[in-house]
Amino acid sequence: MDRLAIHGGPKAIAEPLPGTPGGGHGVSLLGDEEVAAATEVLRSGRLFRFHPESRVRHFERAAAHWIGVEHALMVNSGTSALICALSGLGIGPGDEVILPGYTYIATAAAVVAAGAVPVVGEIDDSLGLDPLDVERKITRHTRAIIPVHMQGVPARLADLCAIARDHDLLVIEDCCQCIGGRYRGRVVGTWGHAGAWSLNYFKIITCGEGGLVFTNDDLVYERASFAADPALPMWMRDATPEEGWLSEPFSTQCYRPSELLGAIATVQLQKLDRILAHTRSLKQAFLSALDEPRCYALQHVDDPEGDCGISAAIIVRDAELALKFAAALTAEGLPCGTAHNDGFPDRHIYRYWDSILGKGAHTPAASPWTDPRYQGSTEYSIEMCPRTLDILDRALRFGFTMTMQVEHARAMASAINKVDRAFG
């Protein structure tokens, strides 16, 4: 048997894996095209979105076409895209929204911003929302579910959408980490009533900061647009339909993006297919090079064909072994830790959502939890989703980046094979 590097043997990955320029996949491909697009906007002096040749509008149309959806609205972040989706669907005070305990805090924060109460559900071996726990957590106050497609992997959408249908609930898909992922042939975000992308620096495509909310529903789109810009009826005077708005205009916040964001996002969208082709080829090479596992199971992926291929995860038998596994892999040249690392308050894990667990609000009267219209009794604690913490304690995650080639992905797999053989 090969001697493990942690015990003085040769490393499975002799050369360090290629690093990334920080950020996500899109940032690795930033080039002259983005520079030219941004420069053109600056030279034109037209940085405000409402004009006939708007770059933001152009991006919205191109994104809607790519996704295969009727409407897309660009906003300034993924968080605001989720807030606009919730507002567009009429979710607010008195409502509960179920979301997974493994997602960026912004998913829960968006629910609070809309005035509703986040209810935290367990994840399962898909590292996404567990449909069985969703069913357990539905109350008469539940209005919606937010499946989150973490790290490019589509959640268990068929089961979650079936539950939503049975209980007459709305579905908002958080696709911030899964731009371009598919589920049973359809782009994620189109299974629910609305979907949200983040275009921040760490995402599959990026314009630095930005977001997109999309839907097939005319009314939801119109209401999401009101939620994104209090002066929309004024800016869109010419675009106002002959017969007027579908609903009464309302005002909340302003999430309007600049033309610079629209221009850069348009170029990045043109690179999306290339990015996904690369990451998928890496994950495919990685999976094909893995031996039959002895002491771990691969993360369940409900639709492998739709996986963006930006990550893979293995789930080890127990937490103690997971730590040993991670240390051995790091020594082999594949730096990793468990997904649930006590030493670092990772805001992707509910136990570190301090402002949510503490039911914080910017004024006491704005608290969704004490709002008199809220008749439920949602309580939070660090221990409330033990299965989520247990799975994250045992999960090791690996990323596939634009700077890697298939040989790197195969080398990653060979490091895992070697450690698994030693521990198995």
Instruction: Tell me whether residue 148 or residue 413 sits nearer to ligand PLP (CB atom).
Output: 148
Please identify, using beta-carbon distances, which residue of 170 and 331 lies nearer to ligand PLP: 170
Taking the complex as a whole, the smallest distance from the CB of residue 223 to ligand PLP amounts, in Å, to 20
Binding site for ligand PLP (CB under 6 A): 77-79, 103-104, 106-107, 148, 174, 176-177, 198, 200, 211
Q: Which is nearer to ligand PLP, 96 or 174 (CB)?
A: 174
Helix (H) or strand (E) holding 118: strand 117-121
Which residue, 252 or 284, has its beta carbon nearer to ligand PLP? 252
Positive or negative torsion for Cα 67, 72, 75, 80:
negative
One-letter-per-residue 3-state SS of 303-362: CHHHCCCCEEEEEECCHHHHHHHHHHHHHHCCCCCECCCCCCCCCCEHHHCHHHHCCCCC
Distance CA 159, CA 369 (A): 29
Q: Which residue is nearest to ligand PLP (CB)?
A: 78
Distance CA 58, CA 276 (A): 22
C-beta of 174: minimal distance to ligand PLP in Å?
5
- Report the DSSP pairing between strands 311-316 and 395-399: antiparallel
**Does the annotation count 203 as an active-site position?**
yes
Angle at 40 (CA atoms; ends 37, 43), nearest 5 degrees: 155
Query: If residue 412 lies in a helix (H) or strand (E), which one and from where to where?
Result: helix 406-423
Cβ atoms of 172 and 95 closer than 8 Å: no
Query: Among residues 103 and 311, whose Cβ is nearest to ligand PLP?
Result: 103
Least distance (Å) between residue 104 CB and ligand PLP: 4
User: Could you tell me the smallest distance in angstroms from the CB atom of residue 214 to ligand PLP?
Assistant: 15
Query: How many angstroms separate the CA atoms of 196 and 284, rounded?
Result: 27
Residue 320 Cβ vs ligand PLP, minimum distance, rounded to whole Å: 29
- Contact by Cβ (8 Å): 172, 144: yes
Catalytic residue among 11, 137, 203, 271: 203
Would you please indicate which residues are annotated as catalytic (active-site) residues?
203
